[in-house]
Structure 1
Amino acid sequence: MSHSRTVEIEGHIIDSGTMQRCFGAVMDLGGSFDVEQFDVGKHEDVESYCRMAVSADDPETLQAILHELHQNGAVLENPTDVELVAAPADKVVPPNFYSTTNHPTEVLYDGEWIDVERIEMDCALIVEPDGGPDGDPRAYTKVLNAVEEDDLVATDQSGIRVNPPERPRSGGGAFGFMQGGVSSERPSESTIREVAEELREVTEAGGNVMVVAGPAVIHSGAGDALAELVEAGYVDALSAGNGFATHDLERSLYGTSLGMDVETLEHPRKGHKHHIWTISEIIRAGGIEAAVEDGIIGEGVMYQCVQNDVDTVLAGSIRDDGPLPDTITDAVEAQNAIRDQAHDADIVLMLATLLHSVAVGNCLPSTTKTVCVDINPATVTQLLDRGSAQAVGMVTDIGTFVPTLAEFVLEGEEAGANDEAAITEDSDA
């Protein structure tokens, strides 16, 4: 006996590859399909539409196929309102709860499609019937440990519509749709110039630039360049670990990073103790901000973050020395702090850190522009595979990338200032 359901897909589904993915998913999972209607959008601003019947030999296979199609934006024909079940206890979700993707999502409630706020992968989807500012229905995500008893949790995928980002009709430059390919042979200088231009545009538009940085940024000698970007106003949020901050502060105090002189690559006598001495000095001062105010720390990334009021989150780990008093040692508290940063970001630079970047990537909507740079291609691949539709991946030395990026950003800023001055002179004349 065959089991069948009809689904609908619409949008720029041909050039975005959506139709190909949907057809492939049905066949890969052992089902079959019959296209009942296919209207092709023949102009740039006209969307395509497809209705197809999907069949499988058993209900379980059909459900698996429908789930995969749902992830690619398909919805059941004549969808019904989302099914909501009250959470039985704090941190407990109902069976068959809907686990979110990182794509823009809507829920059908009381006959109306509602945008889901703060979209993020692997969360529960909560609906408040009168939670909006005017008493309107509201939908948003919650991580499992934040679910409260009696929260109305969406189950299965009925009444839920996922909208994967589509390929833009205009050229996307470095941030072309689903660019995701990783290669050390990509023309790096031109790509870095495009990233620099994007940073300037986001900053000039009042957007938010988030940097996720690993200790290698300091150890490779790129810390000065990152500090320049912070000082010039091109970093709004910094997410890092205890190690990154300790390396940076050690450099300010002793001129070393993990005991190595970054300029000469020499290891001074007792240099291996510098990082723990640094931590003790910051603890004695009462924290990084206090150390800056007292003149103990006078340069570096953390110094510039304090001076320029950059939102900084240092998330701890089990291997941390000290840690610094500013480091958040509670994992859930750290996740929530990173989550707040990620949801405000318009572009994220992930610099030479796998685990920390994965943590941030888990919180990002697929529409956030992402730049991932690491000398290890496996790191870049893993991060880009987390689902951003607008991503740049570069396999290169972070000690080269950050200084070059800073040079191009500040060079463009200077050129813009010169152009503005020239325009002013012409108008005065």
Structure 2
Amino acid sequence: MFKMPVYHAPDFTREPLASAPNARIARVVRDGVAPEGFHSTSMFPEYVKVDGVWRLAKQSRMDASMVVARDDAGAPFIRVVENRNLKQGDQVVLGRTERGEEGIYLHENGFAVPRDDIEGDDWGAPGDGGELAGEDAFVFRQGRSRETSFARDYDRLYELLRYEREHGKIVWVMGPAFAFNADARYAMQAMVENGYVDGIMAGNALATHDLEGSMFHTALGQDIYTQQPYRNGHYHHLDVINRVRRSGSIEQFVCDYGIRTGIVSACVRNNVPMVLAGSIRDDGPLPEVVGNVYDAQGAMREMVSGATTLICLATTLHTIAAGNMTPSYTVTEDGTVRPVFLYAVDISEFAVNKLLDRGSLAATTIVANVQDFITIVARQLGVI
């Protein structure tokens, strides 16, 4: 059974943290420009000492600044803000060290399982499989490749999704591969309808070709089951885009044409939000697609906020983007610090390892065809 990893906070009563100075702070003098020497965040929990107290940012992300703000009573708290969103007057934390010397402490092992506490079913920190490495200096297959056994990862994922459906927020980051396969569309539709999806982040292509599948049973003019091309099938997705734009929105299109199948229709009918980020190569696009890249990033960041599990599937750039804006932890309403689980699934070893190379270390990566992956997951969860 799933067991939530316990967060072990730093002991700030011990030296050198006990006598560490307050963090240095500088005022922003121009919108979108951080003061020289600003501290840039990681994906891990980071504490800042303000007014003699170590304080944790409740929401974080990689490559942003830490702003010291104060509530109505004057009590300080930490906001993590992308530099482009800094405003004149913001008080930004300065410092390039992370062990307390400058009032900043990065706590990368907060969810690690002490060696004496390891049991066969312990989950451990996100991405570590629940067990610590042995004492051997050399072991085979420490990377993630087509030769890796992913059976344990699948089993853990089933447990996690069952738990998160009741207690968390599950966000899926999806490439268009799902829309090209009838079984994958059906499986993902069932995941939405059975409460395993709290949000979807994707591009114009996923939504367009999924709606094409709903209307014509094709994707890019090929039958989504037999892969046989239709005469003039290359018009299908363009006709869909045109009709959605005529309706004015995806939701209205689903209503106007009585669309009852597919991922997008399931999201509309079950009030599951979608963030569709635009691309310079998009056709149309659909009305809801966010064309400004920074507005799209902001919308993605808002959806990631509060997420407890992200599953990124067959979309390298979206996966890296989501990984960079997703911290390894989140703070719940009752103040509990809990991990954020991040999965990356792709048929390409390069794609999943790229996420790790970018510094998103707390990720579980699986090399698989995502169409097969989602069908397996849906069947094991009993939704199809």
What's the TM-score, normalizing by structure 2? Answer: 0.83
Given the alignment of the two structures, is residue 295 of structure 1 paired with residue 257 of structure 2, yes or no?
A: yes
Q: 1:213–1:338: structure 2 CA closer, same or farther, 3 Å change rule?
A: same
Residue of structure 2 aligned with 1:164, choices 80, 83, 108:
108
Match of 1:155 in 2: 94
Whole-angstrom CA distance in 2 between matches of 1:339 and 1:407: 31
Instruction: Please tell me the residue identity of whatever aligns with 1:342.
Output: V
Aligned partners of 1:337, 1:164: CA distance in 2, in Å?
27
- Runs of 4+, deviation exceeding 6 Å: 45-49, 74-77
Task: Find the structure with the greater CA-based Rg.
Answer: 1
Distance 1:77 1:110, change over 3 A: closer
Aligned alpha-carbon RMSD (Å): 2.5
2:347–2:370 contact (8 Å) kept in structure 1: yes
Q: Which residue of 2 aligns with 1:85?
A: 26
- State the alpha-carbon separation in 1 of the partners of residues 372 and 82 from structure 2: 37
How far did residue 175 of structure 1 move? 6.8
Does structure 2 conserve the Cα–Cα contact (< 8 Å) formed by 1:352 and 1:373?
A: yes
Q: Aligned residue for 1:57?
A: none
Name which of 175, 178, 201 aligns with 2:128.
178
The structural deviation recorded for 1:242 is 0.4
Tell me how many residue pairs correspond in the alignment.
342
Give the deviation of 1:192 after TM superposition. Answer: 2.0
Aligned to 2:169: 208
What secondary structure is seen at the aligned counterpart in 2 of 1:350?
Answer: strand
Separation in structure 2 between the aligned mates of residue 396 and residue 372 of structure 1, nearest angstrom: 10
Counterpart check, 1:286 vs 2:251: no
Deviations 1:291-345 (A, max 9, x none): 1222342210000001111121101011111000010111111111100111221
Tell me, in whole angstroms, the C-alpha distance in 1 between the residues paired with 2:358 and 2:164: 23
Tell me, in whole angstroms, the C-alpha distance in 2 between the residues paired with 1:90 and 1:75.
Answer: 36
The 3 A distance-change label for structure 1 pair 321 and 83 is: same
Q: Which amino acid aligns with 2:177?
A: A
Q: Show the counterpart of 1:187.
A: 149
The one-letter amino acid paired with 2:113 is: P
- Structure 1 contact 89–149 (Cα < 8 Å) conserved: yes
- Find the counterpart in structure 1 of residue 132 from structure 2: none
For 1:382 and 1:344, the matched residues in 2 are separated by 25
Q: Distance in 2 between matches of 1:133 and 1:390?
A: 35
User: Does 2:57 match 1:107?
Assistant: no
Structure 1 stretch 347-356 or stretch 296-305: which is displaced more? 296-305
How far apart, in 2, do the equivalents of 1:174 and 1:76 lie?
25
Q: How far is the alpha carbon of 1:227 from its aligned partner?
A: 0.8
Structure with the larger helix share: 1
- CA drift of 1:193 comes to 2.9
Which of 267, 280, 293 matches 1:305?
Answer: 267
* 3-state SS of paired residue (1:268): coil
Q: Equivalent of 1:383, from 346, 352, 355?
A: 355
Pairing partner for 2:233 from 245, 267, 271: 271
The residue type equivalent to 2:246 in the other structure is R
Residue 372 of structure 1 deviates from its aligned partner by 0.9
Task: Show the counterpart of 1:116.
Answer: 57
Is the CA contact (8 Å cut-off) linking 2:127 and 2:364 kept in structure 1?
Answer: no
CA distance in 1, matches of 2:24, 2:124: 41
2:219 pairs with 238, 252, 257, which one? 257
SS in 1 for 2:325: coil
> Structure 1 325/138 Cα, relative in aligned 2: closer, same or farther at 3 Å?
same
2:191 aligned residue (222, 229, 252): 229
What CA distance in whole angstroms lies between the structure 1 residues aligned with 2:360 and 2:143?
A: 12
Match of 1:19 in 2: none
Structure 2: which 5+ runs fail to align? 1-7, 97-101, 130-141, 330-339
- SS of 1:225's equivalent in the other structure is helix
Q: In structure 1, what is the Cα distance between the partners aligned to 2:11 and 2:84?
A: 40
| Equivalent position of 1:326 in the other structure | 288
Equivalent residue, structure 1, for 2:136: none
Alpha-carbon distance between aligned partners in 1 of 2:57 and 2:279, rounded to the nearest angstrom? 32
Q: What is the alpha-carbon distance in structure 1 between the residues aligned to residue 11 and residue 73 of structure 2?
A: 35
Cα 1:288–1:93 change in 2 (3 A) is: same
Distance change >3 Å, CA 93–CA 390, structure 1 → 2: closer
Say whether 1:358 aligns with 2:320. Answer: yes
State the shift of 1:273 in Å: 1.4
Matched, 1:403 2:366: no
Please name the residue that 1:126 is paired with. 67
1:98 to 23, 27, 39: 39
Q: Distance in 1 between matches of 2:113 and 2:360?
A: 14
Gaps of 5+ in 1: 1-44, 52-73, 415-429
Judging changes above 3 Å, is the alpha-carbon distance between structure 1 residues 175 and 246 closer, same or farther for their aligned structure 2 residues? farther
Task: Give the CA deviation at 1:76.
Answer: 7.0
Alignment identity in percent? Answer: 34
Per-residue CA deviation, residues 95-136 of structure 1 (Å, 9 max, x unaligned), is 1111111111111111111112311111011002xx235431
What is the SS of the residue equivalent to 2:342?
Answer: strand
Change (3 A) 1:409 1:87: same
Residue among 116, 133, 139 paired with 2:78: 139
**1:374 touches 1:398 (CA, 8 Å); kept in 2?**
yes
Matching residue's letter, 1:362: N
The amino acid of 1:152's aligned partner reads: Q
Contact 1:373–1:393 (Cα < 8 Å) also in 2: yes
Query: In structure 2, what is the equivalent of residue 217 of structure 1?
Result: 178
- The answer to whether the 8 A contact 2:113-2:124 is kept is no
